[in-house]
């Protein structure tokens, strides 16, 4: 099979596509013929060995995929061979075949093709859990979404708008804010050229936002926290900026505010009922026409360029690799 391979840690330009051995599922695992794989920011970090967990060399990068079940490992009773599935693994998705634990697989909501299914679960699951499961979002509230044109950010804008929140998008350019507005953001703030705290207060009539969802970190986190209203909630989701914010705790005290984290793997292990509830709610939104914003689709051979574009902050929404079988 064809697979992307990292043989040394570093920039995505070092990743090559080669012919490798076919895979076999082990006990509790499923072999999936990958039809599409989405690029996520952590794939860049894993390739550079800058992620929380190291992938031993050599390895096939890529975490999120959609495809068709090709074989079941020992002790696995389903989904049946031939079923369409989506899933997420630590590494291995940028290849024609991936082996995943059966618990890492998800059904594909009706209405999503393989490209959109590959781009769906990580971003939209994260968005839903950040907003609802840990964020406690209530229709009519003001929510600020940082990095609002990125993968998680665009999904969060989309889901928040559909939940009836008033969404303020924050991103680094007017073009990126226009993307967020198309997904339902009522207000946009260019946090490179505008004062995020002052503008968040201004667009909410002076009171500030009820909820912040932050997949970016860096300096924007504290500015957004300072624009929370009393009893507001700040949900920290990721650090695409590269700098993990150090927050003065008096800001939390003074507002009776709550800062909470969201981490997808822990949610899968510790709160399966919340995961099921999120899947149910998101499937309903897909039935109503919601689709992840896929801005670029590339063949597997372009994997290095696709990862480089994400690493260099040049993409909006999701970038997907198309691995549709040709025969
Ligand atoms: N907690 C979880 O379970 C979970 C799940 C999924 C993802 N994440 C994390 O969430 C973060 C965002 O993931 P994503 O897939 O949405 O990534 P993405 O599509 O690359 O979007 C990240 C956004 O961050 C902004 N940004 C600010 N500074 C940046 C920099 N120096 N380099 C790159 N982007 C920068 C960019 O928007 P502007 O240019 O508009 O600022 C970009 O659109 C990552 O840290 C990822 O690890 C966490």
Query: Which of 121, 171, 238 to probe ligand 1 with, by most ligand atoms within 8 A of CB?
Result: 238
Range of the domain at 91: 2-120+293-322
Q: What is the CATH number of the domain that holds 90?
A: 3.90.180.10
- Laid out side by side, the sheet with 166-171 consists of 187-190, 166-171, 142-146, 209-214, 228-236, 258-261
Is ligand 1 within 6 A of the CB of residue 235?
A: no
Query: If pLDDT is split at 50, 70 and 90, which confidence band does 267 have?
Result: confident
Mean pLDDT of 212-236: 98
* pLDDT tens sequence across 275-319: 999 999 999 999 999 999 999 999 999 999 999 999 998 999 999
Tell me the two tokens of residue 199.
């503008």
Is ligand 1 within 6 A of the CB of residue 264?
A: yes
* Rounded-to-integer distance, Cα 224 and Cα 119, Å: 27
Same domain, 111 and 144: no
* Rounded-to-integer distance, Cα 116 and Cα 93, Å: 15
* pLDDT tens sequence across 165-205: 999 999 999 999 999 999 999 999 999 999 999 999 999 99
> Within a 10 A sphere around the Cβ of 152, how many other Cβ atoms?
29
| Cα 323 to middle of ligand 1, angstroms | 24
| Cα 42 to middle of ligand 1, angstroms | 9
Is ligand 1 within 6 A of the CB of residue 150?
A: yes
Same domain, 50 and 162: no
Q: How confident is the model at residue 268, as a pLDDT? A: 79
Same domain, 113 and 133: no
- From 68-72, 255-259, 322-326, the region with the lowest mean pLDDT: 322-326
Final residue of a structural domain among 247, 266, 285: 266
Q: Are 106 and 47 in contact (CB under 8 A)?
A: no
Judge whether residue 327 has pLDDT over 80. Answer: no
* pLDDT tens sequence across 242-251: 899 999 999 9
CA angle 286, 33, 299 (to 5 degrees): 80
Is residue 174 domain-resident?
Answer: yes
Judge whether residue 264 has pLDDT over 90. Answer: no
Final residue of a structural domain among 266, 281, 308: 266
Minimal-distance CA residue to ligand 1 atom 8: 238
* pLDDT tens sequence across 122-140: 999 999 999 999 999 999 9
| Cα 133 to middle of ligand 1, angstroms | 20
Same domain, 96 and 134: no
Same domain, 136 and 223: yes
Judge whether residue 120 has pLDDT over 90. Answer: yes
Same domain, 198 and 229: yes
Q: How confident is the model at residue 52, as a pLDDT? A: 83
Q: What percent of the chain has pLDDT over 70?
A: 100
Q: Are 163 and 137 in contact (CB under 8 A)?
A: yes
> Within a 10 A sphere around the Cβ of 294, how many other Cβ atoms?
18
Q: How many domains does the chain have?
A: 2
> Three-state SS string across the chain, please?
CEEEEECCCCCHHHCEEEECCCCCCCCCEEEEEEEEEECCHHHHHHHCCCCCCCCCCCECCCCEEEEEEEEECCCCCCCCCCCEEEEECCCCCCECEEEEEHHHEEECCCCCCHHHHHCCHHHHHHHHHHHHHCCCCCCCCEEEEECCCCHHHHHHHHHHHHCCCEEEEEECCHHHHHHHHHCCCCEEEECCCCCHHHHHHHHCCCCCEEEEEECCCCHHHHHHHHCEEEEEEEEECCCCCCCCCCCCCHHHHHHCCEEEECCHHHHHHHCHHHHHHHHHHHHHHHHCCCCCCEEEEEEHHHHHHHHHHHHCCCCCCEEEEECCCCC
Is ligand 1 within 6 A of the CB of residue 241?
A: yes
Contacts of 125 (CB under 8 A, 6+ apart): 264, 275, 278, 279, 282
Same domain, 178 and 193: yes
Is residue 167 domain-resident?
Answer: yes
Is residue 278 domain-resident?
Answer: no
Is ligand 1 within 6 A of the CB of residue 259?
A: no
Q: Which atom of ligand 1 lies closest to the CA of 237? A: 1
* pLDDT tens sequence across 5-64: 999 999 999 999 999 999 999 999 999 999 999 999 999 999 999 998 999 999 999 999
Same domain, 155 and 262: yes
* pLDDT tens sequence across 80-92: 999 999 999 999 9
Q: How confident is the model at residue 218, as a pLDDT? A: 97
Is residue 282 domain-resident?
Answer: no
Is ligand 1 within 6 A of the CB of residue 58?
A: no
């Amino acid at each position: 099979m064809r697979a992307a391979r990292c043989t040394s840690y570093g920039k995505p330009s070092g990743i090559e596509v080669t012919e490798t051995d076919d895979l076999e599922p082990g006990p509790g695992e499923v072999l999936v013929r990958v039809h599409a794989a989405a690029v996520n920011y952590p794939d860049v970090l894993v390739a550079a060995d800058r992620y929380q967990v190291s992938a031993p060399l050599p390895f096939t990068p890529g975490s999120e995929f959609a495809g068709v079940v090709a074989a079941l490992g020992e002790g696995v009773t389903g989904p049946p061979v031939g079923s369409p599935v989506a899933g997420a693994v630590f590494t291995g998705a940028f290849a024609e075949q991936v082996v995943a634990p059966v618990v890492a697989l998800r059904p594909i909501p009706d209405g999503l093709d393989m490209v959109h299914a590959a781009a769906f679960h990580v971003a939209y699951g994260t968005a839903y859990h950040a907003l609802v499961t840990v964020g406690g979002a209530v229709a009519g509230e003001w929510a600020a979404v940082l990095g609002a044109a990125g993968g998680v950010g665009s999904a969060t804008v989309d889901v928040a708008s559909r939940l009836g929140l008033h969404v303020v998008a924050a991103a680094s350019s007017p073009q990126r804010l226009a993307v967020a507005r198309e997904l339902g953001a009522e207000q946009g703030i260019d946090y490179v050229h505008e004062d995020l705290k002052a503008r968040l207060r201004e667009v909410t009539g002076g009171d500030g936002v009820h909820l912040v969802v932050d997949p970016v970190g860096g300096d924007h986190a504290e500015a957004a926290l300072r624009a929370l209203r009393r009893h507001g909630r700040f949900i920290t989701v990721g650090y695409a900026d590269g700098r993990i914010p150090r927050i003065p705790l008096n800001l939390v005290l003074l507002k009776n505010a709550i800062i909470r984290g969201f981490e997808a793997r822990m949610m899968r292990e510790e709160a399966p009922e919340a995961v099921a509830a999120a899947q149910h709610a998101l499937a309903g939104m897909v039935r109503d026409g919601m689709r992840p914003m896929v801005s670029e689709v590339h063949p597997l051979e372009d994997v290095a360029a696709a990862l480089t574009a994400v690493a260099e902050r040049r993409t909006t929404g999701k970038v997907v690799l198309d691995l549709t079988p040709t025969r």
